[in-house]
Structure 1
Amino acid sequence: MFDKTYRQRLEADLARWEADGVIAPAAATAIRHALPPLPAAINIAVVVAIVGGLLIAAAFLAFVAAHWTEIARLLRFAILLAGMVVTGALGAWFAATGRSVLADLCASVGAIIFGAGIALVGQMYHLGEDFAGGMLLWSIGAFAAALLTGSRGALAVSLVAASIWTCMRIHDAPDVLHLPFVAVWLVAAGLAFAWNSRAAAHLVALAVLPWWIATSLRFDFEGAQPSFVLANGAALLFGAGLAIAAAPSPRALCLGTVLSIYGALSLAGVAVLEVTTVDDIIRLRTATVPAQPPWANLCGVAGVILALVSAAITRRPGEVLAGCAIGLVLVAAPLWPASTAGEPWFAYAALLCAMLCLVVSGMLDDVRPRIVAGWLGIAGVIAGITWAVKGSLLRRSAFLAAAGVVAVLFATALNRMLPRAER
């Protein structure tokens, strides 16, 4: 919250309030002293040093790769081991001198070298060709480095390796739901919560997306519609993020806010995907009747419940509308097969209403990413309806016109109901 942009805006507000006589100069001074110091910014010298270090590391790797076959096995291993020791020592020195960015970079490079060492040992001694297992081992090592050093870069390496691991396991066993990744992800989320780091929260939120996408795509062979399974994942991510952010803890607020942002963006993307895939603009199904596994439905219902629980705790009307947006996207899924004889007008209407609820929710709660997600969703759904392969273009134009009239009438009613200060 106390980033540079916020501090600049607050400083401008304090100066204006003091000039207008709203607050006394002593109060403005007390507010400035109460603020925590800004974290050290990355200056030009640090950026140049990072680039130089990366160039030196790239030159070293290129030299080793050029003479790889000429280097003895033990010497190869010694080089990689020395690389980890050197990066660790440099990272410790940078951390002791207060250069946290460079220390984080060293820990990240060390985690990458550790992965290269796993690959080298497997190649030299012809270990079992379990590439996914190697990725898991790499993820565990990088996570240990992140836990010991607090490196966000090492956490990123760990989550990337874990995502590759789970995608490979899902590909190898498409009939089995790969739940071990969920346990790994929860541990990483707990670490992000303990760190109270927005960067770590972003990494954790991004890491869950490959698992959901790979899991939903594997059901394509069973006749399920991947976008419907993705909708339940987006619902759970959105609702859980809102519920976590409602907890009375700054750490929970940081993690939950980021998760809810990604959940809102995912919900908008899923709404567009439902229109484009079910109407065969992009065909992903191999069967004619879409279906959803029971566990996915439970995740979607849990997302709606968590959003409404969050609204009950925070008393924010925008979160009620967020729960409505989640529910409408989920309701649209069973409406598609119910209209096989014609176009799915009710599903179109549900998705448009869901995205409109998302926009209004973001405006009421003053959450800009939610507003952006809603507008992107509206644009994508309208484009999908307009360019759908099936059905009459004249009927779709009439539907869009009717939806526009309803939206205008709804806006007129809101304008009369809301107080003038909230319009």
Structure 2
Amino acid sequence: MFERGYRQRLEADLVKWVAEGVISGDAAHSIRKARFGEEATSRLPAIFAMLGALMLAASVSAFVAANWQEIPRLVRLVGILSLIAACFPIALLLGRRAIPWGADAAVTFATLSFGAGVALVGQMYHLPGDWPAGAMLVAIGALIAAALTGKSGPLVIAFAAMTAWSFGRFDDAQWHEIHWPFFLLFVPAFALALGRENRLVAHAAALALGVWLATLTWAPADRLIHGGIAFSVAYIAIGLLALDRDWPAEFRALLPWGGWAFGVFLCFEIELVLEKSVRSAHAIDAHLGLAYVAAALALAALAVLARHRDNGRLVIIAACAIGLTIPLMLVGGPAIPSRVLIPIAVLVSAVALIAGGLLVGLRTFVVVGYAVFGVSILILLWRTVGTLLDQSLFFLAAGVVLLGLALGAHKLASWSRRANEQSSGSAA
């Protein structure tokens, strides 16, 4: 997503520079080639090959689920193993013939067939129905396949399987336990993913880590919302830092997930405070403390290590800081002020996201900010803040403040434009 946006901006700049005579057409072509490299004319072969591998794996899974009694157990097991073994020579052959998408599809099919084989063994020998353990075995097999072949498809399967393993390990009464063994698989998978610049792998890694972090604050709902805000702030900060310092795609992928999660949890904060007439008993605890430490360290790293200290990033950091203060408003004291302060904080954070996204040039924050602002208004209209007169005054004050901000931003833009013109004139 960010690569596409950067490509569009760079292409527009190159066209403008060539038209103004700043650079030649050959120089522009060299810049395009150096920055983006040679691309295939179409991604359709890779997409269709991967979909075909998924369909074939689905057929194998259906075969396993059929549990044909007519076929001996050993024959079924040997058939699955032979199918897996045959995929790797095919992948090697396709790789030597410069068909990487075909080789990736073959290895992905072998990995999915291995998962079906795990299910087949459990079905044939009536092993206990411990599906998280089966997911762990699939993740281990996918990691081995990814390490041996260097393909991306098995890595995506590994991240999905280890997420299922971690998420399904306990029943509802055991969600308070932290599943540290998750990192025994996640760390080597993440190490294998680094440097691939494969967006699907990068987003799979970000999502897997996000689901594990969600389990830390899974219950009750208010703790999940507060912890989600803190972890999403950490995602945003690390993603911005990765974008600033050109870190691998696995770190940059944290930014969109963090931005959208931050917006969703902000909206839930308004609904939560308007739903309850008393303060939340789970505003701060040990797990939330861990989330806040992660958010604080990530923001500090962004502030210290970022090479470009522009105003847009500062505005986004301010939006994140405002979101982090919301759970603190729920600690002690009467509940009525929080029913006004939290909606104000959410709206201010949404406006800051829009402003920061526009200044930095990241459309994700602009869209998230507008979405949060619109959904928040709908929630506030649906659930009255105090009396109807109080609600009317609330929207009146918010509207006046926003119009004032618009006027101030217009004047600031005019001053900046005049300053740039004067500096250009003096330089000439």
Question: Does the alignment reach a TM-score above 0.5?
Answer: yes
The residue that corresponds to 1:316 in the other structure is: 310
Distance 2:396 2:60 in 1: 63
Q: 1:60 to 1:145 in 2, by over 3 A?
A: closer
2:235 matches 1:240: no
The residue that corresponds to 1:329 in the other structure is: 323
The residue that corresponds to 2:365 in the other structure is: 370
**Following TM superposition, by how much is the alpha carbon of 1:388 offset from its aligned partner in structure 2, in angstroms?**
2.2
2:82 matches 1:90: no
The aligned runs of 1:60-99 (5 Å cut-off) are: 62=62, 65-66=65-66, 68-99=68-99
Distance 1:124 1:287 in 2: 53
Give yes or no for contact 1:90–1:103 (8 Å, CA) kept in 2: yes
Give yes or no for contact 2:175–2:218 (8 Å, CA) kept in 1: no
Q: Which segment drifts farther, 314-323 or 155-164? A: 314-323
Give yes or no for contact 1:138–1:158 (8 Å, CA) kept in 2: yes
Give yes or no for contact 1:212–1:233 (8 Å, CA) kept in 2: yes
**Following TM superposition, by how much is the alpha carbon of 1:39 offset from its aligned partner in structure 2, in angstroms?**
2.8
Q: Which segment drifts farther, 355-364 or 311-320? A: 311-320
Give yes or no for contact 1:239–1:305 (8 Å, CA) kept in 2: no
SS of alignment partner, residue 211 of structure 1: helix
Instruction: Flag structure 2 segments of 5+ consecutive residues without an equivalent.
Output: 421-428
Q: Which segment drifts farther, 108-117 or 29-38? A: 29-38
SS of alignment partner, residue 225 of structure 1: helix
Distance 1:369 1:203 in 2: 19
Amino acid of the residue matched to residue 364 of structure 1? L
Distance 1:309 1:52 in 2: 44
Query: 1:147-192 deviations in whole A, cap 9, x for unaligned?
Result: 2223322122111111111111243622312222245434433333
Q: 1:68 to 1:387 in 2, by over 3 A?
A: same
Amino acid of the residue matched to residue 349 of structure 1? I
TM superposition score normalised by structure 2: 0.84
Give yes or no for contact 2:57–2:113 (8 Å, CA) kept in 1: no
Distance 2:242 2:4 in 1: 25
Distance 1:289 1:91 in 2: 56
2:223 matches 1:229: no
The aligned runs of 1:162-181 (5 Å cut-off) are: 162-171=162-171, 173-181=174-182
Q: 1:380 to 1:82 in 2, by over 3 A?
A: same
Q: How many residues align?
A: 414
The residue that corresponds to 2:156 in the other structure is: 156
The residue that corresponds to 1:115 in the other structure is: 115
Q: Which segment drifts farther, 399-408 or 186-195? A: 186-195
The residue that corresponds to 2:423 in the other structure is: none
Distance 1:303 1:66 in 2: 48
**Following TM superposition, by how much is the alpha carbon of 1:43 offset from its aligned partner in structure 2, in angstroms?**
5.5
Distance 1:343 1:156 in 2: 43
Distance 1:268 1:341 in 2: 24
SS of alignment partner, residue 168 of structure 2: helix
**Following TM superposition, by how much is the alpha carbon of 1:28 offset from its aligned partner in structure 2, in angstroms?**
3.7
Q: Which segment drifts farther, 356-365 or 173-182? A: 173-182
Query: 1:123-155 deviations in whole A, cap 9, x for unaligned?
Result: 323334432222111111112212222332212
Distance 1:235 1:151 in 2: 32
Question: What value does the CA root-mean-square deviation take over the aligned residues?
Answer: 3.3
Taking every aligned residue pair, what percent have the same amino acid on both sides? 29
Q: 1:87 to 1:34 in 2, by over 3 A?
A: same
**Following TM superposition, by how much is the alpha carbon of 1:411 offset from its aligned partner in structure 2, in angstroms?**
2.5
**Following TM superposition, by how much is the alpha carbon of 1:97 offset from its aligned partner in structure 2, in angstroms?**
1.7
Distance 1:73 1:361 in 2: 61
The residue that corresponds to 2:282 in the other structure is: 290
The residue that corresponds to 1:192 in the other structure is: 193
The residue that corresponds to 1:275 in the other structure is: 270
Query: 1:48-107 deviations in whole A, cap 9, x for unaligned?
Result: 666666555555655665562221111111121122112222222222222222222222
SS of alignment partner, residue 21 of structure 1: coil
